[in-house]
Amino acid sequence: MGCHSIISTEHSQMQLDIQNISKQYNKSKFGLKDFSLTIENGILGLLGPNGAGKSTLMKMIATISKPTQGSIALDGHDIIKNPDYIRQFLGYLPQDFGVYDNLNAYEFLEYIAAMKGVGGPNLKPRIESLLEGVNLIEAAKLPIGTYSGGMKQRVGIAQALLNDPKVLIFDEPTVGLDPEERMRFRNLISDLAENCVVILSSHIVSDIETIADEVAIMKGGQLLTKGSQAEVIRLAEGKVFETVLGSDELNTFKAKHLVVNTIRQKDGIRTRYMSNEPHAGSVQATASLEDAYLFLTQYKN
């Protein structure tokens, strides 16, 4: 299939199909194990503790890592055998990326555009629009080596949008952004999701909670659950409670229940916790995505 035709295809509905993939490092160590997932247009939030396999999964979809088993297909095209299929409309923001310090932002984006195989007369105005969008137009001619961490992160966001991406992968994208930037970034992702598959991982549950259409929770290289936020939250319903404890009771309490958070008050410590057998005097609380996440990753297992 010609590359030109691939890029010019308008995908109203895309489907990324991950079937039984594993990443095995040695006999006993797996990054991912028999993992299956289907992703369609919209935002999928990936949640999981460190070592859950989120970055491994994202690297595989971004074609920089190959599974030892299983298949990944985009709209029926096997991207393990033919990674260049997805690369043409992939936007990827890695967790721990670097830049060439002696290039300026404009030159760096031009370089990434060349690597992505995009150009034409509109490349320059597009780069300028993106730099305007990430608010780096004034600093565009300075070496990236002089940028702050947040500014570099914004260069990373701009590069992900260079090539009219249809699949966007953001691995911990809000690291280095201040609260206002995080809010704007969430808005940006919401806009992008209209015509794209967006996969977003974050340690900050509230980032996912605000924008994700669907949530997948992973642990130990395996998928624990996937569904809409309401479906996932439902798993923790009826198990979240709040009570007020004396400061000397807290340690004993923690040994029996999974404490989600505590707030020190005048009358004691307001404690939110999960349990099948609530403590006397507790009040049932409405479950949140964070509760569901903790329930699945810590309490249930």
Partner 1 sequence: MGRFYKIVYGDYLQRTRSYAFLITLAASLYAAYAFVPAHDANYTTLRIGNYIGVSNSAWTGYVTAMMTSVFLSIIGFYLINSNIKKDIDTGVGMIIATTSITNFRYLLAKTVSNFMLLFTITAIICMMSIAVFLIRPGNHHFEILNFITPFLIITLPSLFLISSLAVFAEIVCYRYTVIMNIGYFILLIALLPSAQPISPVFDVLGVKTITTGMEQLVMNKFHLAEAKTGMGFHIGNKGHISLFEFEGLQWSAFYMLSRLLWIGIGFGLTYFSSLLFHRFDVTERVNKQKKQKPLSAETIQAPTAKTLKEIRLGTLPKIKPSFGIGLLIKTELLMLYRKGPKWLWLFNLGGMIALALAPVNIAHQMILPCLWFLQIGRWSDLATKEKTNRIHYFTYASYKPLSRLFSAQLLAGIIISVGLSSPLLLRYSIAMEPLPIISIFLGAIFIVVFAIFLGVISGGKKLFEVLFFFLAYSNINKIPVLDYFGALNKGTNYMVMMAVLSLSITAISYIWRRFEISRL
Q: Which of residues 1-60 bind partner 1 (CB under 8 A)?
A: 3-4, 7, 59
Q: Is 74 in the site for partner 1 (CB under 8 A)?
A: no
Kindly tell me which of 125 and 281 has the beta carbon lying closer to partner 1. Answer: 125
Longest Cα separation, the chain: 70
Q: Is 188 in the site for partner 1 (CB under 8 A)?
A: yes
Please state, in angstroms and rounded to a whole number, the distance separating the CA atoms of residues 94 and 50. 16
We find the least distance from the C-beta atom of residue 47 to partner 1, in angstroms, to be 22
Residue among 297, 299, 261, 300 at smallest CA distance from 53 = 297
Please state, in angstroms and rounded to a whole number, the distance separating the CA atoms of residues 135 and 138. 8
Q: Is 184 in the site for partner 1 (CB under 8 A)?
A: yes
Q: How does strand 214-219 pair with strand 222-228?
A: antiparallel
Kindly tell me which of 85 and 273 has the beta carbon lying closer to partner 1. Answer: 85
Residues 130-149, interacting with partner 1 (CB under 8 A): 130, 132-135, 138-139, 142, 145-148
Q: Is 63 in the site for partner 1 (CB under 8 A)?
A: yes
Candidates 42-50, 103-111, 209-217, 253-261; binding stretch for partner 1 (CB under 8 A)? 103-111
Q: Is 87 in the site for partner 1 (CB under 8 A)?
A: yes
Kindly tell me which of 5 and 286 has the beta carbon lying closer to partner 1. Answer: 5
Residues 109-128, interacting with partner 1 (CB under 8 A): 110-120, 122-123, 125-126
Residue among 285, 290, 283 at smallest CA distance from 260 = 290
CA-angle at 262, arms to 261 and 264, nearest 5°: 160
Q: Is 213 in the site for partner 1 (CB under 8 A)?
A: no
Please state, in angstroms and rounded to a whole number, the distance separating the CA atoms of residues 104 and 144. 5
Contact 241, 284 (CB under 8 A): yes
For residue 236, the 8-state DSSP code is: T
Candidates 155, 161, 212, 240; binder of partner 1 (CB under 8 A) is: 161
Candidates 101, 149, 246, 261; binder of partner 1 (CB under 8 A) is: 101
In DSSP terms, 115 is beta-bridged to: none
